[in-house]
Amino acid sequence: MENGIAKPMLCSLLVSYVLSGILLAVLAFALYQLRLKEGQVNIMVYAIYFITCLLGGLTAGKGIRQRRFFWGLLSGLLYFLVLFAVSWLMNRGSAIDIHRSLTVMALCAAGGTLGGMLS
């Protein structure tokens, strides 16, 4: 990546992961306090992925200022790839749920793209 692109992309990923950590901690607290059902938690986790990638796409688009939708998409996909790689490394013996992985990838890509377009 060029110098003018690397820094905004890294910032967008940092924003996404910090916000993910905060929102997932809030969700964990809500889960503990409200005893939410598994289906509700899954929907909220998907929403967190979308929201964090949307903000990451906004950050990337504002930082790069050209082809914003593309850089937002790339930000969302990079977020997913890191998330997927870490999950895979932590659960090497487990089978990969392809349907869930594709759903998360689509949400991350859509959130990042929308964020880039809105930037």
Q: How far is CA 54 from the centre of its chain?
A: 8
Least confident segment among 72-81, 88-97, 100-109: 88-97
User: What is the predicted pLDDT for the residue at 38?
Assistant: 84
**pLDDT tens digit sequence for 3-12:** 688 999 999 9
Element containing residue 32 per DSSP (H, E): helix 3-34
User: What is the predicted pLDDT for the residue at 46?
Assistant: 97
Cα-trace Rg, the chain: 15
pLDDT over threshold 90, residue 100: yes
DSSP state letter for 93: T
How far from 81 is each of 70, 87, 105, 119, CA to CA, in Å? 16, 10, 8, 23
**pLDDT tens digit sequence for 4-52:** 889 999 999 999 999 999 999 999 998 889 888 888 899 999 999 999 9
